[in-house]
Amino acid sequence: MGNNSEKSSLLRLAESASVELLEEKKPLHDILLTCKQICKTLQISDENYWIELELSGYLVRYKTRDQLYDNLPNYRKTDWKFYDLYGNMISLPPDIADLFGKSVVYHSVTELENSNQIIIGNQFFEKFNKFITNHGMDYVSKNVRIHEAKVSKNEINQVLSGLKNRTQEFLDVVISILEFDS
């Protein structure tokens, strides 16, 4: 880290981002951009790659639902509501829901901040649909096909809230390091 004036301007930047986060004066996306800038200056970008994933969305790095589920932070795991081709809600038996109902909200923070609901396309349900065809218990369940899943505004807000907490923790650590260093 450079001189004291660089440290103190970085400290002010982190403190102001923390206040903006708390007071919700700026979109979370903009606050994450500030965090990214702080990481770059402190040369700690690699340890904080999650910031880049939050900004770009997790699909840039993880392609399958299983990869996403294994690598997403917990605050990005929610419940999906499943729908068939005709928009009818599908309720899954608990054991099937445990297997396939693991939701992954992989979207960028900007998408989340600007959405009232998110629709997950059927590319994530091929495994499920194949499983149901092979293992469905009766005629009806064998013919169920998930066409899409939806994440409600309430669940989006829970994801954003978790992200705010993580961002605040990051800023708190940076502030304490910069204060300790100066």
Look up residue 87 and give its DSSP letter.
S
Task: State the residue range of the domain holding 130.
Answer: 4-181
Indicate if the pLDDT at residue 1 is higher than 70. Answer: no
According to the model, what pLDDT value does residue 8 have?
Answer: 92
pLDDT, one tens digit per residue, over 79-99 is 778 888 888 988 877 777 776
* CB neighbours of residue 41 within 10 Å: 16
Rg of the chain in Å (alpha carbons): 20
Distance of CA 126 to the CA centre of its chain: 22
CB 106 within 8 A of CB 58: yes
Q: Are the CB atoms for 65 and 125 separated by under 8 Å?
A: no
pTM: 0.84
Sign of CA dihedral 136, 138, 140, 143: positive
Hey, how many other C-beta atoms are within 10 angstroms of the C-beta on 58?
21
Look at the chain and report how many structural domains it folds into: 1
